[in-house]
Amino acid sequence: MAKATPTGISLNDANQQAIEAVRAMKQEYNPEDFPKARGEDVLEFLVNMHVGFKKRQATAIKKLGRSTRLSPFVFDTGIGYEIQSQYLQQSADAVAHDAYVNGTGPDMKTAMTKLDGVTNTLERNRLTLEAERQCANEGPWVNWLLKPPGISQGVPWLEHNRVEGKPFLVYETQIQQPAKYRADFPLRIAALASIQDWDWVTWHYFGDGSLDNAGNTENPFEKKLDITTGSHPQGYHFTYDEVQTSLMRAAGYIFTQHAWQQAPNPTTFIYGLKSLYDPHSMNYGHSYGQAGMNMLQTVYEYGARIKIDTTRSDDQVIGPVVQFEERLTHNPYRPTDELVFNWKKGYFKADAPIAVAFTGSVQSGGKLTWGNIYMSNITVCNPKGAFDPLDPGKPWLAVSIYSLDGKPLAVTTSAGISLGSTSYNSGYLMGGQGNGLPAKEGTLPVLTTRIGAKFKIPGFAGANYIMHNFNGQIIDKEC
């Protein structure tokens, strides 16, 4: 319906005349070979059939009991950048989307070869964005803080799909190991969830069953990191990742306590019938036309809502946008007074009464400030044998100081500090690095890079503290 479609002969058709007729047909068809109105009719029929079936199904199920009547229904967990899928989602009680990102990527020169021979402007823009989002920018690694903000490896799946008045569920998300720079991911998710006023986030995924007897084990989390070395993406497991789970804990408290404000006046992208039933929307990344390419950047500056409006024909944008053409110049992004993404300097910072945070690089011995909260004498300690140590002169870290009782840090009686950087399994080896050796997941012990610092938090003066290791054991306290 969108791209060229080849014809073929049915192998179980014994009718010679039918076979000859097929052979005589044109062997490849494009949308341009048919009236545009016909393609629109087909799409309208399929969309209405699909949405109608889901609605009838929901009506029937809701009659089966109290829990089914009270529970919100989600109609899809499909492709996040497809207008027909989003219209289906919009027709349900709630909206659910996902997104994953990688910690490594191809080089830009190789990725840009996908544009060779491509003449369609929208497709060239899509492929360019995909290359910019996916490609490594620090050796083999992707440092997401040095890219314009986004939880996407091309056109977005999470950012733009918030529907006003509908609960929004992130049904799964994670960064895939190997990832030297991953401690920032939970804080960036917390920031996006705040900007867009989400309702639910699921970190995916936890465990492989080996924690079933954790209560009988002194060190239940003392296992090697799960790292993708082949076709199976076990690198999404975060169970034994001390660095990741520490910052996920911070992000969880930030999110559940609404610590960071949402964007005050989000821009609304409205798409009408022409976009919904356009046959060219079936090409991946073409659903929303060139105007849709503005949504990713706009979310991080203004916030955004999306609406598929079948009462109108044309599209409309209500509110300011950051144009696709501005994506590599617009900086910093400030969706609220509390949050700033400065991708040209490679950091994200949050300063709010209930929780503060920073992730990025600082000078060794340097200082971070959030109002009257100070973090100074920042240093890094790389363990011996770590696969790719941090630059000791410029520690890369993620840190958050957050209330546990929902009160501002100035008056809270219970708070937490999460501070992390990176880690590797002993003997980890990245494949494809010109050494002819295959990737190797490595084994115990996990080599964790430690960040040292001194905190000055006036609201914590005279407070007691307890420091836990990854297995929940107390390693220091003052009570």
What are the E-state strand segments in 182-323? 200-203, 267-271, 304-308, 316-318
Are 2 and 67 in the same domain?
no
Sheet-wide strand order for 304-308: 304-308, 267-271, 316-318
- Domain membership flag for residue 331: no
Phi, psi of 475 (to 5 degrees): -110, -15
pLDDT 10s digits, 427-461: 999 987 656 678 999 999 999 999 999 999 999 99
Strand 450-456 versus strand 465-468 pairing type: unpaired
Spatial distance between the Cα atoms of 197 and 175, rounded to a whole number of angstroms:
21
116 Cβ neighbours under 8 A, 6+ residues apart: none
- Quote the pTM value: 0.94
Helix (H) / strand (E) containing 6: strand 5-6
- Among 266, 293, 326, residue at a domain's last position: 326
Percent of residues, the chain, with pLDDT higher than 70: 93
- Regarding whether 42 and 188 lie in a shared domain, the answer is yes
Q: Cα separation of 178 and 153, whole Å?
A: 16
Domain check: are 132 and 277 in the same one?
A: yes
Q: What mean pLDDT comes out for the span 278-293?
A: 96
Q: 66-71: list long-range contacts, CB under 8 Å, 24+ apart.
A: none
In this structure, the answer to whether residues 22 and 114 fall within a common structural domain is no
Range of the domain at 367: 339-478
Same domain, 15 and 124: no
Are 304 and 267 in contact by the 8 Å Cβ rule? The answer is yes
- Domain membership of residue 461 (yes or no) is yes
The overall longest dimension of the chain from CA atoms, in Å, is 92
Average pLDDT of the chain, as a whole number? 94
Tell me, yes or no, whether 302 and 358 share the same domain.
no
**Domain boundary pick from 326, 357, 388:** 326
Label the pairing between strands 95-102 and 200-203.
unpaired
Instruction: Answer yes or no: is pLDDT of 22 > 70.
Output: no
User: 452 and 400: one domain?
Assistant: yes
Question: Is position 308 within any domain?
Answer: yes
User: CA 309, CA 120: separation in Å to the nearest integer?
Assistant: 27
DSSP SS3 for 15: coil
468-477: which pairs have CB atoms within 8 A and are 24 or more residues apart? 470/221, 470/222, 470/242, 470/245, 471/218, 471/219, 471/220, 471/221, 471/222
In this structure, is residue 334 part of a structural domain?
Answer: no
Give the CA distances from residue 96 to residues 86, 161, 200, 253, 295, in Å, rounded to whole numbers and listed in that order: 10, 9, 9, 21, 18
Structure tokens at 447: 């080599």
Query: What's the pLDDT tens digit per position in 204-232?
Result: 988 766 777 666 688 889 999 999 998 88
Residue 1 pLDDT > 60: no
Q: Are residues 22 and 169 in the same domain?
A: no
List Cβ neighbours of 213 (8 Å cut-off, separation of 6 or more): none
The reply to whether 332 falls in a domain is: no
- pLDDT one-digit tens code per residue, 348-407: 999 999 999 999 999 999 999 999 999 999 999 999 999 999 999 999 999 999 999 999
Does residue 266 sit within a domain? yes
Rounded-to-integer distance, Cα 295 and Cα 457, Å: 38
Rounded-to-integer distance, Cα 199 and Cα 256, Å: 9
- The residue among 104 and 10 whose pLDDT is bigger is 104
Please check whether residues 269 and 405 belong to one and the same domain: no
Residue 333 lies in a domain: no
- Domain contains 421: yes
pLDDT of 435:
60
Q: Which residue has the tokens 């950047």?
A: 297
Q: Are residues 42 and 10 in the same domain?
A: no
Q: Are residues 159 and 50 in the same domain?
A: yes
Q: What's the domain count of the chain?
A: 3
pLDDT greater than 60 at residue 8 = no
- Determine the pLDDT at residue 10: 52
**267 three-state secondary structure:** strand
88 & 179 share domain: yes
